[in-house]
Structure 1
Amino acid sequence: MLKRVLESKDAVISTLAVINAPVDPLSQEEWEVLQEACTVLEPFEQVTVEISADSYVTASKVLILCKGLQKVTAEHQTRVTTGKVKELVDALCVSMDRKFHRMEWNTVLSETTILDPRFKKLAFTDNRADDKALQRITSAAERSSQSTPLPGGQEGEETQASAVWRFFEDRATGSTTRRNPSSDAILEVRSYCEEPLFQRSADPLSWWEAKDSGYPRLTHVMTRRLCIVATSVPSERIFSKTGQILTERRNRINPSKLRHLVFLNANLR
């Protein structure tokens, strides 16, 4: 809103002068306040757009974007020149310090961030927070081993082993059953953390697709974490689309058909 007013500054001043409207024009100082306020608020708009998308992973970005937003806003404290904007910046810094100081301990945000190969532990400033998140991920990977087939397993396959190979097959089966799910999960998490970071502009899901066979347990955990969206905006968009489909002239659509139309509208691209 403020950006549009600034873009129309000359037109607004000229129009008010021509029509002699009973409206007090903004002073030069007030125009400067608007300009500085836009500069301060622009990063908030960028972050809002970034985490409100529904076509890529968003929850894993929240920790990093919030920290970056705090730093950028704090830098404005020494740059702004107008008193009103200085008050705005101070209020924003205080509010973010209060809201964000325990964000790294949030279960969902910490686990999604670590499971994003672009960020991992680099997004954390508190080592205790990322250690706790890794412990939870390791426990989840250990539990998932019960439903995730091990690499090289023959689950669901009908093998016709001859008598010559039966001795080896018995030993291989016994070795698999003696494996420790806990140690396997720990080794898998440790190996994942030692992998080089993925490009920030790349899709983390493509990385996991390529590494699926190497990290079967973590992949199973990842599918339940990286699908989480950072905000409620995607669902609100669907509600808005539903209101456009179900109108007064189309109020007899049955629920099943409405559900299918909304699904196609949201996913057919």
Structure 2
Amino acid sequence: MKPAVDKVKAIVEFFHRSTTATHKLKSTQQQMGMPELKLKQECITRWNSTFHMLKRILESKDAVISTLAVINAPVDPLSHEEWEVLQQACTVLEPFEQVTVEISADSHVTASKMLILCKGLQRVTAEHQTRVTTGKVKELVDALCASMDRKFHRMEYNAVLSETTILDPRFKKLVFNDNRAVDEALQRITAAARSSQPTPLPGNQEGEEAEEDEQKEQQASAVWRFFEERANRDTTRRNPSADVILEVRSYIDEPLCQRSADPLSWWETKAYTYPRLTQVMTRRLCIVATSVPSERIFSKTGQIMNDRRNRISSSKLRHLIFLNANLSVN
């Protein structure tokens, strides 16, 4: 596919260099009743920028062909077969773009989605093997399928991904195909819960002190002494390991949450019910580490430090970037 992609890059670069060609493209889009869309250039650090470049030129296909023919541009035009290759390639790559965007988020839990998204990508891409009609795109699909089979075949045994998936109340065991991977993940979660000490949740300090005073009064009362003795004996007989196992089983038996629900909010409401698992969850439900947040900051830095603001001091630039990045998150 490289020759066709290189042609697209040359066409996009030509339109970005030539203001005359850009204005002509815009007027052609208006005459054809098409949306006025600027062509996008790819960025070497982001694979999906190439996808966006191909998708944008396909959206403006007729206007681009007409403009290049009218102005007699010094670039090689795309053949009908190459346009078809780009169209089918974008159809194949669309799910990869969706997954890339989903796992690059940093404001909600993403690690627990990895097993599901990777398996979904494998299934969708495998379906394209019987749908594509051009040989070049079929080679692309075969390469993608082979690469995913090699990289994803033991993902269920990844300790971090398996545990975070089970501890996500939206997914739990439903994602797994291998029961052995589920059992091993549950054993690790149970062991972690057994070694964790549930901490009391923050509450009203005055109310807690009042409860402590009331408990002291009850303990001092002869009426409550009989109950306190039995309660103490019951506490000493209880097996902490059995409590952890019951806690894990009870959590697994809970009905699944809706996919749109926030797993952290669910755990917040269940903190009293599953105190040990809640402690384990705080170290498991996380985001996937990607370079996207840092690259977003680099992009914002380029917008702040431009030709018209090139005398900003380094300390002020650092403060502006910090505020810009963090205020936008909130």
TM-score range, shorter chain: 0.7 to 0.9
Work out whether residues 238 and 266 of structure 1, in 8 Å CA contact, stay in contact via their aligned partners in 2. no
Work out whether residues 113 and 120 of structure 1, in 8 Å CA contact, stay in contact via their aligned partners in 2. yes
- Count how many residue pairs are aligned between Structure 1 and Structure 2: 262
State how far apart, in whole Å, the 2-side matches of 1:46 and 1:254 are.
Answer: 33
2:220 to 162, 165, 171: 162
Aligned: 1:51 with 2:96: no
Aligned: 1:116 with 2:116: no
For 1:205, the equivalent position in structure 2 comes to 264
Q: Kindly report which structure 2 residues correspond to 1:120-139, keeping only aligned pairs within 5 A, or say none.
A: 120-139=172-191
Q: Kindly report which structure 2 residues correspond to 1:24-63, keeping only aligned pairs within 5 A, or say none.
A: 24-63=76-115
For 2:279, the equivalent position in structure 1 comes to 220
Q: Kindly report which structure 2 residues correspond to 1:62-81, keeping only aligned pairs within 5 A, or say none.
A: 62-81=114-133
Post-superposition Cα deviations, 1:219-262, rounded to whole Å, max 9, x if no partner, equal 11111111x2123246425743884699651323598x789747
Structure 1 gaps, min length 5: none
Post-superposition Cα deviations, 1:22-47, rounded to whole Å, max 9, x if no partner, equal 32211111100000000000000011
Work out whether residues 106 and 293 of structure 2, in 8 Å CA contact, stay in contact via their aligned partners in 1. no
User: Judging changes above 3 Å, is the alpha-carbon distance between structure 1 residues 18 and 125 closer, same or farther for their aligned structure 2 residues?
Assistant: same
Instruction: Give 1:175 shift.
Output: 3.1
User: Judging changes above 3 Å, is the alpha-carbon distance between structure 1 residues 237 and 254 closer, same or farther for their aligned structure 2 residues?
Assistant: closer
Work out whether residues 241 and 262 of structure 1, in 8 Å CA contact, stay in contact via their aligned partners in 2. no
For 1:265, the equivalent position in structure 2 comes to 327
Post-superposition Cα deviations, 1:1-54, rounded to whole Å, max 9, x if no partner, equal 110110111121112111212322111111000000000000000111111112
For 1:230, the equivalent position in structure 2 comes to 288
Aligned: 1:240 with 2:298: yes
State how far apart, in whole Å, the 2-side matches of 1:143 and 1:109 are.
Answer: 21
For 2:312, the equivalent position in structure 1 comes to 249
TM-score with structure 2 setting the length: 0.72
For 1:196, the equivalent position in structure 2 comes to 255
Work out whether residues 110 and 133 of structure 1, in 8 Å CA contact, stay in contact via their aligned partners in 2. yes
Instruction: Give 1:266 shift.
Output: 5.5
Work out whether residues 77 and 89 of structure 1, in 8 Å CA contact, stay in contact via their aligned partners in 2. yes
Work out whether residues 40 and 89 of structure 1, in 8 Å CA contact, stay in contact via their aligned partners in 2. yes
State how far apart, in whole Å, the 1-side matches of 2:149 and 2:248 are.
Answer: 32
Aligned: 1:23 with 2:86: no
Work out whether residues 121 and 130 of structure 1, in 8 Å CA contact, stay in contact via their aligned partners in 2. yes
User: Judging changes above 3 Å, is the alpha-carbon distance between structure 1 residues 172 and 253 closer, same or farther for their aligned structure 2 residues?
Assistant: farther
Q: Secondary structure at the match of 2:97?
A: helix
User: Judging changes above 3 Å, is the alpha-carbon distance between structure 1 residues 136 and 12 closer, same or farther for their aligned structure 2 residues?
Assistant: same
For 2:143, the equivalent position in structure 1 comes to 91
Structure 2 gaps, min length 5: 1-52, 202-207, 306-310
What amino acid maps onto 1:162 in structure 2?
A
State how far apart, in whole Å, the 2-side matches of 1:189 and 1:149 are.
Answer: 19
State how far apart, in whole Å, the 2-side matches of 1:140 and 1:117 are.
Answer: 18
User: Judging changes above 3 Å, is the alpha-carbon distance between structure 1 residues 169 and 237 closer, same or farther for their aligned structure 2 residues?
Assistant: farther
User: Judging changes above 3 Å, is the alpha-carbon distance between structure 1 residues 197 and 259 closer, same or farther for their aligned structure 2 residues?
Assistant: same
Post-superposition Cα deviations, 1:195-231, rounded to whole Å, max 9, x if no partner, equal 11111111112221222211111111111111x2123
Which of the pair has more CA radius of gyration?
A: 2
Q: Secondary structure at the match of 1:78?
A: coil
State how far apart, in whole Å, the 1-side matches of 2:228 and 2:321 are.
Answer: 51
State how far apart, in whole Å, the 2-side matches of 1:83 and 1:242 are.
Answer: 41
User: Judging changes above 3 Å, is the alpha-carbon distance between structure 1 residues 244 and 25 closer, same or farther for their aligned structure 2 residues?
Assistant: closer
